[in-house]
Chains A and B, each alone.
Chain A
Amino acid sequence: MKLSDERRLTFALFLFVPVVCFFVFIVYPIFRSLTLSFQEWDGLSQNIEFVGWANYKKIFSSELLWVSLTNNLKWLVFSLLAPTMLGFFLALLVDQKVKGESLFQVFFFIPYAITPVAVASVWSWLYSPRGGVINQLLTSIGLPQFRQVWIGNPDIATYSVMLASLWWSTGFAMVLYFSGLRGIPPELLEAADVDGASFWVKLRKIVFPQLLPSTIVVMAMQGISAMRVFDLIYAMTGGGPGISTHVLATMMFDVSFNRFEMGAGSAIAVVLLVISSAIILPYVFHSSKGLEELRS
């Protein structure tokens, strides 16, 4: 469609306010932080010293960074796979014309409405070694040997937090997939039935491709939240025990506000930004292309 100058101007105006907001509140602070990452500041004093790459050297030689990075990767894999698959599985089940499907939807989605801090407090309590619901339940059904120190054992603490996160975020995937499933044109499925296709064939050939848009949305959201994860971990374990549950976001907080090394903290934030972009940008780019094709 040809664009006259008048039209171009109109559209530029439309984009003006959002873009300005974006630059002032998002882009500019990022650049400030970038600058700060090359400086040293304790958050209080007036003197801010330029130190070049020293902050980056420091954090890359610390064990904490590599632990955090590994954990972020674990979270990425987990977030992309677990809530999505569980959400899809549950959506599939609810889609089978079960009675009370609205009710089930509500049940699965409610945890997602709760703020992570609240999730953290409830689950910390559930995980309590002696008085917690989970260990008590295990004891009462005769399996005391499976009791764990869920968030106190550095080897499993991260997974315990992940379980709380799964509880929290599966609902979103489920609802999205459910709508997607209901949105599949029934003619497609009926035609497949006429051809005698089995459940699994229908799944592979019709359902999966039709759900691609939903999957893109879910995975994008999950990927983003995996890199950003902070609230839940911070409130449940604070990065501990030891340093076992730290992710980049919590590490940044710890370095900036417990050690008062704002420069190093900003460096970590920059690393976080770079990695998040590297992982998510190509994905978003690819998916927006895909939607272009769908549109035309």
Chain B
Amino acid sequence: MNVRGRIVKFAATLFAIAVLSNSALFADTEIWHYWLSGGEKDAINALMDVVKQENPGMTFNAREIPGASTEMRRQLGSAILAGNPPEVYHAGLGLDLKSYVDAGHLRTLDDVWAKLNGDKIFNPGLQKIVKVNGHVYAIPMNTHVVTHIFYNKKIFDKLGLKPPKNAEEFLKVSAVLKKNKIEPLAAAAKAGGTIYHIYPIFIDVLGTDGYMALGNGSLSWKDPKVRKAFEEYRKTFVSQYMFGWSGYGWAEAANEMMKGNVAMYMNGDWVVSYFENAGWKSGVDFDFFPAPGTQNTIVVQVDGLASPKESKDEKGAKALLLSAAGTAGQAAFNRYKGSVAANLTVKPDIYKGVMKATYDRIQAISKSGTMLPNLAVMLPPPLWSELKTQVETFALKSDDATLDKALNALETIRLEQLEKKAFANWSGMN
């Protein structure tokens, strides 16, 4: 009994400590994010430094939520129900944002926007996905491009290869690589290792209008052009995937390119900070080219910040967002993130090497090309989830039977979501 009593006392003390140390946290203005690895972590830290500098009277606390947007949504939902969400969170934009707005959970940020002169400093395309019903609900942080293909420059130079401009050239380059016992294209399972590969094909076969039609639910997945797109995907990319790609996560797949086993890697340009952190030099060890079919387009993925209405410190939230959207904050963040700042007033001298080239390309496309949003922000979550799964399934087993099943499944969900009026009418980004 003595031992038991001691244990109880011990536990009670710890419990008391835990409770007491818990309450101290609620004084800070909190931001939740999932910028966890390498360059991303540096980016959020740099951003918070700027925020703290610009708001000397306030205290801030940044909390990591591993598990990306899924886990963020789960924890955020729980916190909102519990009545203590963070002041700011790392938000998905487009339909994801809209779902929170429709549920009445977000603060409008019109006043912050006005202070920044938001309509001027942000690309009009980006503006579209942070506004719902004319009000601003999120601050865009960056512009990631997801339709660039990165390649191991040393391999290309050694074999005298030039970045391909279209599908035929791509296949020719791949043939040369294969002859030299190098695998052409890296892919990965989980977390978007294949989904972005089909975007350039959609754009090439369906045109930018067709891509947008898929996004707002007006194009049937059973349309013969869509079928053709999948077949092109099979012909151009899937056939060139490296051995065992489905057993890799995206970081391991990137490692394969760094080790020289694979020559090309297609993923969002967040991999740039990954490569650089691992010791590669921009433009020397690696570079990029627009995926075949996207000579005049880019698809962008944007990280945003939004503020739940139920959070306690509105003043702190808006102060944080103001700093995050400002030139200094955006510059600090994007310098490490490997993305181009959303705020157009940020000077391009923070971009080096590949990032500078990306910045130039984004500028060029904004002027005379088409910037498209990631399908992820346009499609209702069930359809987006299904698309990712089906593309991966098709890449694993690319016969016609699988394709039939995939297209049927996608179409079923599209019709279901249409009935629920879950699609939004995005009219493009510029």
Classify A-B as touching or not with yes or no (CB < 8 A).
yes
Write the residues of chain A forming the contact surface with B, with a CB cutoff of 8 angstroms.
42-46, 63, 127-131, 149-154, 237-238, 240-243, 254, 257-261
**Would you call A260 and B246 a contact (CB within 8 A)?**
no
Picked from A43, A238, A254, the residue with its CB within 8 Å of the CB of B190 is A238
**Would you call B396 and A242 a contact (CB within 8 A)?**
yes
Annotate B395-417 by CB proximity to A: 1 below 8 A, 0 otherwise.
01100000001000100000000
What CA separation (Å) do A215 and B327 show in the bound complex?
68
Using CB atoms, name the residue of chain B closest to A261.
B382
Picked from B103, B245, B405, the residue with its CB within 8 Å of the CB of A152 is B245
Residues of A within 8 A of B389 (CB): 240, 242-243
Among A149, A153, A261, find the residue whose CB has the most chain B CB atoms closer than 10 A.
A149
**Would you call A46 and B393 a contact (CB within 8 A)?**
no
Picked from B73, B74, B385, B392, the residue with its CB within 8 Å of the CB of A241 is B392
Using CB atoms, name the residue of chain A closest to B194.
A241
Closest 6 CB pairs of A and B: A129-B244, A152-B246, A152-B247, A242-B393, A45-B103, A149-B244
Besides A45-B102, A153-B246, A261-B382, 6 other A-B contacts (C-beta < 8 A) = A46-B103, A128-B248, A130-B256, A131-B252, A154-B393, A240-B190
B100 within 8 A of A: yes
What CA separation (Å) do A243 and B392 show in the bound complex?
9
What CA separation (Å) do A174 and B252 show in the bound complex?
36
What CA separation (Å) do A119 and B99 show in the bound complex?
37
**Would you call B244 and A258 a contact (CB within 8 A)?**
no
Within 8 A of A (CB), among B365-410: 381-382, 385, 389, 392-393, 396-397, 405, 409
What CA separation (Å) do A259 and B386 show in the bound complex?
9
B104 within 8 A of A: yes
CB of B96, distance to nearest CB on chain A (Å): 10
B261 within 8 A of A: yes
**Would you call B396 and A241 a contact (CB within 8 A)?**
yes
B189 within 8 A of A: yes
**Would you call A260 and B248 a contact (CB within 8 A)?**
no
Residues of A within 8 A of B247 (CB): 127-129, 149-153
Annotate B70-110 by CB proximity to A: 1 below 8 A, 0 otherwise.
10011001001000000000000000000110111100000
Q: Would you call the interface of chain A mostly helix, strand, loop, or mixed?
A: loop
What CA separation (Å) do A129 and B244 show in the bound complex?
6
CB of B340, distance to nearest CB on chain A (Å): 28
**Would you call A44 and B105 a contact (CB within 8 A)?**
yes
Using CB atoms, name the residue of chain B closest to A62.
B409
Residues of A within 8 A of B105 (CB): 44
B15 within 8 A of A: no
What CA separation (Å) do A149 and B102 show in the bound complex?
44
What CA separation (Å) do A152 and B261 show in the bound complex?
18
Q: List 13 A-B contacts (CB under 8 A).
A: A44-B73, A44-B99, A44-B103, A45-B103, A131-B255, A149-B246, A151-B246, A153-B246, A237-B190, A240-B190, A240-B246, A242-B389, A243-B393
B280 within 8 A of A: no
Write the residues of chain B forming the contact surface with A, with a CB cutoff of 8 angstroms.
70, 73-74, 77, 80, 99-100, 102-105, 189-190, 243-248, 252, 255-256, 261, 381-382, 385, 389, 392-393, 396-397, 405, 409
**Would you call B244 and A257 a contact (CB within 8 A)?**
no
**Would you call B381 and A45 a contact (CB within 8 A)?**
no
Residues of B within 8 A of A153 (CB): 246-247
CB of A236, distance to nearest CB on chain B (Å): 10
Residues of B within 8 A of A63 (CB): 405, 409
CB of B421, distance to nearest CB on chain A (Å): 13
Using CB atoms, name the residue of chain B closest to A147.
B244
CB of B240, distance to nearest CB on chain A (Å): 16
Given known contacts A154-B396, A258-B381, A241 and B103 CB-to-CB distance under 8 angstroms = no
Residues of A within 8 A of B104 (CB): 45-46
**Would you call B392 and A42 a contact (CB within 8 A)?**
no
Using CB atoms, name the residue of chain B closest to A58.
B416
Residues of B within 8 A of A46 (CB): 103-104
Picked from A130, A154, A238, the residue with its CB within 8 Å of the CB of B244 is A130
CB of B164, distance to nearest CB on chain A (Å): 25
Using CB atoms, name the residue of chain B closest to A42.
B99
**Would you call B74 and A257 a contact (CB within 8 A)?**
yes
**Would you call B396 and A130 a contact (CB within 8 A)?**
no
CB of A62, distance to nearest CB on chain B (Å): 8
**Would you call B189 and A240 a contact (CB within 8 A)?**
yes
What CA separation (Å) do A243 and B73 show in the bound complex?
22
Residues of B within 8 A of A260 (CB): 73, 99, 381-382
What CA separation (Å) do A92 and B76 show in the bound complex?
52
Residues of A within 8 A of B190 (CB): 237-238, 240
**Would you call A259 and B244 a contact (CB within 8 A)?**
no
What CA separation (Å) do A43 and B72 show in the bound complex?
13
Residues of B within 8 A of A242 (CB): 389, 392-393, 396-397
Given known contacts A44-B99, A63-B409, A152-B189, A129 and B385 CB-to-CB distance under 8 angstroms = no
CB of B370, distance to nearest CB on chain A (Å): 29
Using CB atoms, name the residue of chain A closest to B80.
A44
Given known contacts A258-B381, A261-B382, A43 and B77 CB-to-CB distance under 8 angstroms = yes
**Would you call A154 and B385 a contact (CB within 8 A)?**
no
Residues of A within 8 A of B396 (CB): 154, 241-242
Using CB atoms, name the residue of chain B closest to A260.
B381
What CA separation (Å) do A152 and B74 show in the bound complex?
27
Residues of A within 8 A of B381 (CB): 258-260
